[in-house]
Amino acid sequence: MRKSGTRNQKRATAKLLGNARRGFCGTVHAIEAQDVTSTLHPTELESRLIELGFVEGARIEVLHEGIIGRDPIAVRVDNNTVAVRRREAMAVVLG
């Protein structure tokens, strides 16, 4: 069975919040924290993102990018504005 390979292929073709530019609008499709480079354990990262409002179906808009390396990003999630690091935003799959 090649489930992990298929998952990585889907992830490679999906739009990730960490790659989005200022002005991008979309909808959260899923959170996949397993393959993300972060100082947090994948379960902890997923929990934190959910607490910030990154749940399936939430509308997002990238409002601002940091000056150095375009990091962090300010994102409007439904009616809330939050800042996240790009490397952690790579766990948010947009649909």
Residue 6, pLDDT above cutoff 60: no
21: DSSP letter: P
For residue 65, give the nearest of 24, 22, 94 by alpha carbon: 22
Higher pLDDT residue, 1 or 93? 93
Q: pLDDT above 90 covers what percent of the chain? A: 73
Residue 13, pLDDT above cutoff 80: no
Q: pTM of the predicted model, to two decimals?
A: 0.82
DSSP string over 38-90: -SS-HHHHHHHHHHTT--TT-EEEEEEE-TTTT-SEEEEETTEEEEE-HHHHT
User: Residue 84 pairs with which residues in a beta bridge?
Assistant: 73
